[in-house]
């Protein structure tokens, strides 16, 4: 069973800070990590490979330094690493990104594609479904449990108030959530191989025979008009005094505002 796992290198956004003077992001010293949901995707792929044999390829689109993310996945056990890296890919929205990843997937070949539900820097959760549409594959999103016999998959898809059991035949694409599994740690041998022996395959737009009008900025239907730090509300009042005095004042104020009765 050949499985492609899509991964993204993201800034560890829980540690991002804002410059209070300029209102912009301080990116210095913010570590890059493998997007958390994607690690669960990889873990599931590795488990399937252990059961059915085959190959796990990790696929990413990004700048040259995204190789680090791929090597981390390789150290966990992925067989092949493919990085899509080209100036022409830059500025892509989800439409163009899913086209680019989809074209690369065609070249690699697959029985199953697994994506994380969403990336923590974009939070769109759109790449999985749009890649599935591009490749005309059945999709199952928000997967929290999966079983397969190599021909079809049965997934538990999380809902707001429970879950549903869905079956699809392979090839298919699924997006997974953190409830699915616990990602393994890289093995020492894996680390040595990933960083010393294995090579990352780097493809540009030509390598995947991409249509120039479908990639990067050119291929993106959406564009950013403006980025800004949100305006502070600035109408609040800060209470003064001892803890007891502040607590007393708070209760009085909440009663005055009619929020507490």
Residues 31-70 that bind other proteins (CB under 8 A): 63
Interface with other proteins includes 206 (CB under 8 A)? no
What CA–CA distances, in Å, run from 1 to 51, 141, 161, 181, 194?
Answer: 9, 20, 33, 20, 22
Stretch that binds other proteins, among 1-9, 19-27, 181-189, 199-207 (CB under 8 A): 19-27
Which CB atom, from 192 or from 239, has the smaller least distance to other proteins? 239
Distance of CA 193 to the CA centre of its chain: 25
Stretch that binds other proteins, among 8-16, 49-57, 194-202, 204-212 (CB under 8 A): 8-16
- Interacting residue with other proteins among 100, 139, 148, 181 (CB under 8 A): 139
- Interacting residue with other proteins among 108, 178, 191, 202 (CB under 8 A): 178
Residue closest to 173 by CA, chosen among 126, 148, 137: 137
Give 29's contacts (C-beta < 8 A, 6+ positions apart): none
What pairing do the DSSP bridges indicate for beta strands 162-169 and 17-18?
A: unpaired
- Interacting residue with other proteins among 51, 106, 165, 206 (CB under 8 A): 165
Is the distance from CB of 157 to CB of 166 less than 8 angstroms? yes
- Least separation in angstroms between residue 108's CB and other proteins is 20
- Interacting residue with other proteins among 22, 31, 151, 197 (CB under 8 A): 22
- Interacting residue with other proteins among 29, 31, 199, 236 (CB under 8 A): 236
On the 0-12 / 13-18 / 19+ scale of CB atoms within 10 A, 9 is buried
Q: How many residues bind other proteins (CB under 8 A)?
A: 88
Which CB atom, from 31 or from 234, has the smaller least distance to other proteins? 234
Looking at residues 78 to 117 of the shown chain, list those that interact with other proteins (rule: CB under 8 A).
Answer: 87, 90-91, 93-95, 98
Interface with other proteins includes 192 (CB under 8 A)? no
- Least separation in angstroms between residue 79's CB and other proteins is 28
Distance of CA 256 to the CA centre of its chain: 46
Stretch that binds other proteins, among 69-77, 103-111, 155-163, 194-202 (CB under 8 A): 155-163
- Is it true that the peptide bond before 76 is cis, omega within 30 degrees of 0? no
Is the distance from CB of 101 to CB of 114 less than 8 angstroms? no
Which CB atom, from 145 or from 195, has the smaller least distance to other proteins? 145
CA distance 77 to 142: 24
């Amino acid at each position: 069973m050949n499985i492609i796992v899509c991964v993204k290198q993201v800034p560890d956004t829980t540690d991002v800070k804002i410059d209070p003077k300029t209102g912009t992001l301080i990116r210095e010293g913010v570590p890059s990590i493998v997007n958390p949901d994607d690690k669960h995707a990889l873990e599931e792929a590795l488990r399937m490979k252990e059961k059915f044999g085959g190959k796990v390829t990790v696929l990413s689109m990004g700048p040259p330094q995204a190789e680090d993310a791929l090597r981390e996945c390789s150290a966990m056990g992925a067989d092949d690493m493919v990085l899509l890296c080209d100036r022409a890919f830059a500025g892509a929205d989800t439409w163009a990104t899913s086209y680019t990843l989809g074209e690369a997937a065609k070249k690699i070949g697959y029985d199953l594609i697994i994506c994380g539900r969403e990336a923590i820097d974009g939070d769109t959760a759109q790449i999985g479904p749009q890649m599935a549409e591009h490749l005309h594959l059945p999709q199952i999103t928000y997967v929290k449990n999966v079983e397969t016999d190599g021909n079809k998959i049965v997934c538990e898809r999380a809902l707001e108030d429970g879950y549903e059991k869905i079956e699809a035949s392979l090839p298919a694409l699924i997006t997974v959530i953190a409830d699915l599994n616990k990602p393994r740690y890289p093995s020492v041998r894996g680390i040595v191989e990933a960083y010393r022996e294995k090579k990352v395959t780097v493809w540009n737009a030509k390598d995947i025979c991409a249509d120039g009008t479908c990639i990067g900025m050119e291929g993106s239907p959406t564009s950013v008009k403006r980025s800004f730090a949100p305006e502070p509300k600035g109408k609040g009042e800060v209470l003064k005094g001892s803890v007891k005095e502040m607590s007393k004042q708070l209760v009085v104020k909440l009663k005055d505002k009619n929020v507490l009765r």
